[in-house]
Structures are given as structure tokens and as C-alpha cells.
Structure 1
Amino acid sequence: MNDWMQKLKMRLPVMVLLAATFLFWGSYDPCKPDGPVLLDSPALADAAVAEGDCSEVNSVFTLRRPASGIKPVVRFVLSGIAGCETIRLSGRIRAENVVRGRYHSSCARLVLVQRDIEGKWVAGTESRMYGAGSFGWTEFLNDYLILPSTVSAEVVLLQSGESGTAQFDSIAAYPVKARAAGPWKMAFAAAWGIMGVVYFRRCRLHTRRLGHLILLNALVILVGVLMPNTWLQQAPGRIHSIMDQFSCAHGSEAPELQKHLVTAGLDIDLVDHVVGTVNRSVGHFLLFGSLSFLVLLSVALERLHPFHYLAVAFDMLLFGGVTEALQYLTPDRTVDVVDLLCNAYGMLAAMVLFSVVRVCWRWCARNRVA
């Protein structure tokens, strides 16, 4: 017990700073209005396009799609976006028995689409305003960075799942601009930088058996969460091609994987939740899984007390929270609870894999001695 309390006290400064980061930035709006409202609780008559089974009552839109039916979609063209740097889109979504389609975002979805002078779609800010299955009214909000090639924009409501009903309410879009949050971000960045230097020594990372690999993996995670979205969007076409191919393959294979897991006796809702969560943040799952495995392997190689395996799990969850909190300090990244869940699932997968490897290693060692 004393050992537990000592380790908890050692991690207390990180926990306090982590809580302060989430509390401060979680209640801080990084943007402020920057012009007249572009769209506010529209009616179906205001739509430029309405396809499929779409209806509206008091600005509440209902989009129904029967199995193998036409995909319902409603589009509103935004006027007056010239000079807008960022457009905030908000609204509420409710879903009833929405069956996810081929891709993870093929479901009830609210999105802002940007187009160039030729009317072609412009790849802009990633939208996370979507959901599948059945859930009550849920608030969604997304800030979209308007790219230089954009000349027009549309707010799109759609139900692109295989079937089900989606409802949308309180749809609003308006220009915003960033607040002067530089001093606050610099203060928190300095605090986290000092914390990293201190804990590099306190966690004895420089003396670990696999210290270099652990440090490299941790740095890759930090670079990934701190990298601006605009850098990812400006990546070479080859990278986008590979990502698209992976998404297609992943989307087509996921249902088959889910069938096998359900056949093995797992609850179908649990399987859908885990697979859907991992689909949204595969990078978090793989990187945190590999980091957890390396730390567990280092503990085994150093022949430390089994108690340290529990400490590893706690540290991985803590590090996952830290990496997510650091995204508050970036210009255009957003904090997402799904990423935190993916970190935890990656750690759990690593612990299962490590346990299997450890049992197999001991079995082989006993047979070799015999």
C-alpha cells in the first residue's frame, strides 16, 4: 500500500496539470463570431436540393431511408462566405435504427461541403458530426477552416446509412475567427514541457531496457497529435491514395470481422462499439498498443515485481489523457473522447497479446529444460 501511495504521489503533479488543462480549455471557446449568421434554423423550402424521403416541421428535418432505398439528402447553399476564414456549423442529431454503411461516416451526418470555382469538392476540415444506431438528441459542433480554393459552401444533411431514420434540429452556420489565446497556450505548453523533462528522469526512461524504442514510440504519438490538420490535408496525393485504399479495405472487411466476433460469443452491441471506435482512430489504437507492449516487455526483461504491470496500465491511460489534452494547444486539432477510448483499447489489446506471449515463452522454456 505504501508503494502504491508513493507512486500515486509521484504522478500527482501530472494529474493536477491534466485536470487543469481539461477544465480550462474545455470551457474556453477558441473562436468568436466574425460576421452575420449564414444559416439559422432553415426550412425545407430554403434548401437548394432535397432528395429522397425528406420532411420538415418547425425546422426539424426527418430523413428516412428504407433498406435499399434512395439516400435522403438536403443541401443548403451558403451565401456570403467571401472573406470567411472559418465557419462554425452546429446542430442537433437524433437517430433511430440507423444501420452504418460501408464507411464509418456512412450514417446520420451533418457536414459542411466546400467547392472550388468548377464546383468540385474541396477536401477541408474533417467532420465528426455523425452517428449510427439509435440515440436521442445530441449536440454537435464543428469549426471548418475555409481553404483558399473554396468559392462556395453547402450545409448538407444526409442519412447515408443502409437504413434507418435521422432527424436534425437547430441547424446554424456562422463565420468565426480565432481568439488571441497565444499567451495561454504558451503557458500551458511550457508547463507540459517542464513536466516532460522532469518525468523523463523520474520514470527512469533513460535506464529502461527498451528505453530508446519506448521513447521513439512516445515521440511518434506526440508528433501525431500535435501535427496540424492542414499539414495532413496538404500531404502528397500518394499518401491520400494509400489512406483511401485502406479506408475502403477496412470498411469492407469490418462486417466479416464483426460476424466472427459475434459467433465467438461476444455481445453484438459491444462488438459494434469497439469496432466502430477503432475504425475512427486506428492510429491511436496501433501506436498506444505498441507503446504499451514495449513498456510491458521492458518490465518483464527487468524482472520487476508483477505490481508494475498494473502501474503500466495506469501510466498508459494517464499518457493517453495527456496526449489528448495537448491537442488543445494546437491551432486546429480537436479533443475527442473516441481517441481516449482507442488509447485504452490499444492498451488492453497489448496486455492480452503480452500475456499470450509470456505464457508461450514460459511453456517453451519449461519444455527446453525438461
Structure 2
Amino acid sequence: MSNMKFICVFGFISVLSGCNLTVENAGGGIVTSSDERIECGETCSASYSNTSNEPVTLTAMPDAGYEFTGWEGRCAGIEECVVSIGAVSGDKSVIAVFSPASSLKISLGRSYTCALVDSQVTCWGYNRQGQADVPELGDPVAISLGDDHTCVIDDNGVTCWGLNNYGQTDVPDSLVNPSAIGLGDDHSCAIDDHGVICWGYNINGEIEVPDNLVNPIAIAAGRFHTCALDDNGVTCWGYNFAGRTDVPDLVNPVAISAGGSHTCALDDNGVTCWGYNVNGQTDVPESLVNPVAISGGWIHSCALDDNGVTCWGSNNNGNVDTPDLANPVAIDAGGSHTCALDDNGVTCWGLNNYGQADVPDTVASVSL
């Protein structure tokens, strides 16, 4: 397997004449500044006083289908890019690197699994409701699975299929430029230009989106509840049995995941989980080191950290018994099975009564 990385899109930031901040971006993401004077998908600039030496924080936001790889130049090797603009501090040059997101994505439902590989979706496992029968799609870039239904973001917007007893696959016509999707058991949600929109099952208010969300960037849906990550942090709504929507104090959360009846978030303190805990699914192991990804399953949870993949909670089917993996980069937890993406492709383990852990050869050996 090759270790080469192909960087297809980049943004170049330079400070001209000591006080002019110019941003050039060929696409794949947007660079913004903390003083709101820069917001560039292509090229823009801002002028600063010669006598100023104000610090400006630059933020890189990838488009759907892309990921921010990191900073180069002045901010090389650091996560938060802060530059001082003005005659005192002198010129600065920074590069924000965007690249196509991993060509291989995995998503797990209750008893089936799907993979998105090079704009092709393959599903396997339980298929009584047609949730694994992939329709014709136009270059999908994101995928999410519910209990028995599936949705993707593709050239046509959001496309869903499978069980539709509560309208969970009836995508609203009002969606504009969807950028993220998240599916619960029988409801679906998307983030678009208007914010968060949900549809489907609503006995517990799980599709009644709060009107106080500000710039949501991530969405996660559980059995009867929904959560979003926005400028204010994490907000959850819907059924609150066992406190699954009672968000604890978090510090700069960057990721969320909703399990069957519990919720997890990744913030400056690591992984925090809350809600239903009869099976220990919210008892986060103290052994985690620098976690970078989380996933809540039906009654178990998993995290990706410096040690690899760690799972906890119900283990009746071996779903938390992580096999040997080679440099895992992604995880997802389903009903009672788990999958990871590593140097060897996709590996799944746990309950396999419908073949949900039997990864097809066309997917299992796909290299990153």
C-alpha cells in the first residue's frame, strides 16, 4: 500500500506591504478570520493599519467531500493559526491545505452496514426493508444509516431509501445545499444553508429543531433524540429518558455521536458520554489518550485515540472486543457490531446474524 498523500486543493495566505492580508483559495474549503474581515472561498483581502499589531486567528472550514489537512508556512505544525498583522510584526505567509476526504467511509445501522468507496455505495446485512438496496446515485460524498433506512448526500441533494413507515425517507423539498446528515432509528436530519432540518418519527419531539441553533456544523441522531453541534456547543432535544438530552458542561466540543439511548461528545477534556448507562456505555475508559473520533452504538460506544480503537459497554456479541488493526483512522458502532477503517481496508466484528460483519471483498481490501 502506498503512503503517498495527494493534495489536490490548497489555499495560500500572504501579508503584503506589511498590512494587507490576501487570501487565495482554489476551492475545497473556506478560510475565515476572527475579526470577520476575511471569508474566502476564492480570493479576498483585508487591509490593516501600519501601526497595528493585532493578532488574527485564521480558521479553515472544508467543503463537503473535503477535509482540512493542516497548516503550512508560518503556522506549520500547530492546530490554531494566529498571525499578527502590522508593521511591527512584519509580513506573514500561511498555507491552508485542503484535500479530498477519505475515499472510503463506513456507516452502521442496527443490523446492516454500508461503505462509500470512490462515489459508490455498497451495503450488506439485514435487508428486509430494502435498506441495503442502493438506488442509482450521483457521486455521493456522505452516508448515514438509521435502524432500517439509509441516506446519502449526492449531486441531487439528499437521497434516502429503505423503511418509510414514518416518512423518514421522504426528503423535504426545502433542502438547499445539504452539507451533513444524521439518522436515528426512524427519523432523519440534515444540515443545509438554512440550518438543521429533520423529518420522520416525531412522538418525542426528535424532529422539532430548536430555533436557537447558530451555525450548526454537525448533527447526530439516536433512537428517539437528536443533537447538533453549533457555535454555542452541543444542543440535544427529543426523548430525555435517562438524561440523554441533558448535555453536561463541555469545553470546546468538536464532535458528537448519538447512540441508541445515550450521547457522546469529544471536547478539550477528551470523551464525555451521558444518558442511559445500564450496560456501561457511558463509562468512558480512563485509558484513552488524545481521542480524535467517537461513535455511539445501540448499547456500546467506541473511540479512536493514540492507542487505536477502544470500545466499552455491552459486549454480549463481542462488539467491544477490538481485533488487531493497522493504523485505524475511522470507526462506527452499530446495533451490536462495530467496524473500523485501517491500512487494510474495512474490518467489522460483533453480532453477525445477518451478515452485517461480513465485509464484501470489494470493500474489505480497499486501500486508503
TM-score range, shorter chain: under 0.3
Higher normalized strand content (fraction of residues): 2
| TM, length-normalised to structure 2 | 0.26
| TM, length-normalised to structure 1 | 0.26
Q: Which has the higher contact order (CA 8 A, sep 6+)?
A: 1
